[in-house]
Amino acid sequence: LEQKGRLQRLVAKDPITCLVISPDDKFIFSASKDGALIKWEVESGKKLCVVPGGKKGTEERHMGHASHVLCMAISSDGKYLATGDRNKLIMIWDTATCKRLHIFTGHRDAVSGLSFRKGTHQLYSASHDRCVKVWNVAENAYMETLFGHQDVITGLDSLSRDCCVTAGGRDGTVRLWKIPEESQLVFCGHQGSIDCIQLINEEHMVSGADDGRLGVGVWGSPLPSLGWGAQQSLLSAPGSHSGNVKLWKCGEGFRKLERLWDIPLVGFVNSLKFSAAGDFLVAGLGQEHRYWAFKEAKNSICIIPLKRRAAAPSPEAPSGS
């Protein structure tokens, strides 16, 4: 794809840990292992703003993170960006100027998941301290804390309803949190650590675990696990240390996944996001991921067009794809 000019690569200094795309699909915000935050222009690939990482204890002085940034979220109106790090901090940014607006404290361990409720400035945060917190970003206010997971929370997502979903790592559960009712639904099924979770729509979700399977669920009715990865919209794009991104399509009332394409990439796929219009997929790559290192890889962001004519079917793809 890269040789044919169908894949745009934006090179970064350190391994990409997380990224988000602006709601208008014009900008990418990425963060890296050194705590740096970068705003990119999709069309040109240029860096528009760089907030460098600093040393621990210097967050107030240099206005940026001083440890690994583990998660990011952008509000649906594109006004606010939220970033969470290993030092238990959540930082709120003005997306237009990359100016830091607030710092939220309260978690007792690394912040591992962030998501804005769609259509609002309500922010959900998840942490290795096993709890979920709710914040009002516009008013710079803490709202409440939710408890239930028995292990570190590894992923979080939300849409427009006043609820969110979380993955509980090795406690083996996915939880749907109903905020007004202060209640939760518990989903089980994976055999390993559940590493990521994302909503397909208001009633269906997909989870990925290190057991190599991808599970699709509907509220109140967990379904069999089928593959691995993270998902958005009707296409699922799992990524892993294999360097391959696999595209899947949900079918039969979200009870089946159809494998469409394999996209080979070099490096560890640490983050994946679909554009709002579904025109392209962005992958954050790194030389490192957890316990491994692959020095031949480039720390980079890959923009992958999703037009049918720009892709080639995998030899392993099922017939009829």
**Tens digit of pLDDT for each residue in 282-294?**
999 888 765 566 6
Say if residue 307's pLDDT is above 90: no
Lowest mean pLDDT of 115-124, 138-147, 213-222, 259-268, name the range: 213-222
Say if residue 260's pLDDT is above 70: yes
Say if residue 316's pLDDT is above 70: no
Kindly report the average pLDDT of the chain as a whole number: 82
Lowest mean pLDDT of 43-52, 148-157, 204-213, name the range: 204-213
pLDDT single digits (tens) 190-203: 777 888 888 888 88
> Which residues, at least 6 apart from 253, have a Cβ–Cβ distance to it below 8 Å?
none
Predicted local distance difference test score (pLDDT) of residue 202? 87
CA distance 68 to 88: 10
Predicted local distance difference test score (pLDDT) of residue 104? 97
pLDDT single digits (tens) 215-242: 776 654 444 333 333 333 334 444 455 5
Say if residue 37's pLDDT is above 90: yes
Cβ atoms of residues 72 and 18 within 8 Å: yes
Say if residue 1's pLDDT is above 90: no
Q: What is the pTM of this model?
A: 0.85
pLDDT-derived band at 20 (thresholds 50, 70, 90) equals very high
Tell me the HSE value of 200 on the side-chain side, using a 13 A CA sphere.
23
Cβ atoms of residues 49 and 63 within 8 Å: no
Cα separations in angstroms, 108 against 34, 105, 127, 172: 21, 9, 8, 22
Say if residue 94's pLDDT is above 90: yes
Lowest mean pLDDT of 30-34, 97-101, 251-255, 307-311, name the range: 307-311
**What is the distance between the terminal CA atoms of the chain, rounded to a whole angstrom?**
19
Cβ atoms of residues 87 and 118 within 8 Å: no
Average pLDDT on 7-24 reads: 89
Fold that domain 8-56+63-309 belongs to in CATH: Methylamine Dehydrogenase; Chain H (2.130.10)
CA distance 95 to 98: 5
Say if residue 67's pLDDT is above 50: yes
Say if residue 7's pLDDT is above 70: yes
Cβ atoms of residues 73 and 115 within 8 Å: yes
Say if residue 268's pLDDT is above 70: yes
Q: How do the domains of the chain map onto residue ranges?
A: 8-56+63-309
Average pLDDT on 66-79 reads: 96
